[in-house]
Amino acid sequence: MYVGQFKANQLVDRLEAAAKARQATVARFRARPSADDPIVLARQSARRAVIQAREVRVNERGMARLAAEAQREAEALAAQEREAAEAARQAAEKLERQAALAAEQKAARDARFAARKARARR
C-alpha cells in the first residue's frame, strides 16, 4: 500500500506542477505591457529604425555592386577598343611593309631589266 500512495502522490505533484506552470504562463501573458505602452512603442520604433538602416545598407551595397559591375564592363570595353586599335595599327603597318617590299622588289626587277637592256644594246 505504501507504493500505491507514493505513486498517487507523484501524480498529484505532477498535476499541481503543471497547473502552477499554466498559471505562471497566464500571469506572464497578463503582465505583458499593452500595445500603447511607451516602452512597447519605443521598442517598435527602435526595430523600425534598425530595419530601415538595414534596408539602406542593402541598397547601398547593391548600388556599389552595380557601380563596380558597370566599371568592370567599361574597363572591358576599353580593353577591347585598345585591342582593336592595336590590331588595326598592326594591320596598317603590315600593309605598309608589304607595299614597301613590293616597291623594293619592283625597283630591283626594273634595275635588272634595265641592266639586261643595257647589256643587249652594247
Q: What is the 3-state secondary structure (H, E, C) of 41-75?
A: HHHHHHHHHHHHHHHHHHHHHHHHHHHHHHHHHHH
Number of neighbours of residue 40 by Cβ within 10 angstroms: 13
Q: What CA–CA distances, in Å, run from 12 to 16, 46, 96?
A: 6, 46, 109
Residue 102 domain flag: no
Residue 6 domain flag: no
The string of pLDDT tens digits covering residues 17-34 is 999 999 999 998 887 877
Q: Give the residue, 45 or 5, on which the prediction is more confident.
A: 45
Identify the sign of the CA torsion 58, 64, 65, 70. positive
pLDDT at 81 over 50: yes
pLDDT grade, residue 8 (50/70/90)? low
User: Looking at residue 31, what is its pLDDT?
Assistant: 79
Can you say how many angstroms the Cα of residue 117 is from the centroid of all Cα atoms in its chain?
77
Domain with 60 in it: 23-94
Domain count, the chain: 1
Residue 99 domain flag: no
Residue 47 domain flag: yes
Nine-digit cell string for 107: 625597283
